[in-house]
Amino acid sequence: MPGFTIVWSTFTFPTGFVELDEHAVQKYPREYAPLAYILEKSGFPVNEVYPTKGSDLEKTIKAKGQTWLKA
């Protein structure tokens, strides 16, 4: 999106920096924290935990996939 940059602790908009609620950002894994923050502040709460690279959830999904492939 032109004119929109995500930086770890602030978002840069064409009109300048916007302060973030640090507690809200830290609720989510860094892989999807910016997207989850924007969704939450827009009224679309992120209520689930999604797999991230190397997470236990990713390992569980891959193990179940391997089991299914061997069946």
Nearest to 49 by CA among 67, 38, 33: 33
Beta strands in the chain (DSSP E): 5-6, 10-13, 16-19
Q: What is the mean pLDDT of residues 6-17?
A: 60
Task: Give the Cα separation of 59 and 37 in Å (integer).
Answer: 25
Q: What is the mean pLDDT of residues 2-18?
A: 59
SS3 call for 21: coil
pLDDT for position 1: 47
pLDDT for position 44: 92
CB 53 within 8 A of CB 31: yes
**Is the pTM above the cut of 0.85?**
no
Q: Which amino acid is at 52?
A: T
> Which one has a higher pLDDT value, 66 or 71?
66
Q: 38-52, pLDDT tens digit by residue?
A: 898 899 988 888 899
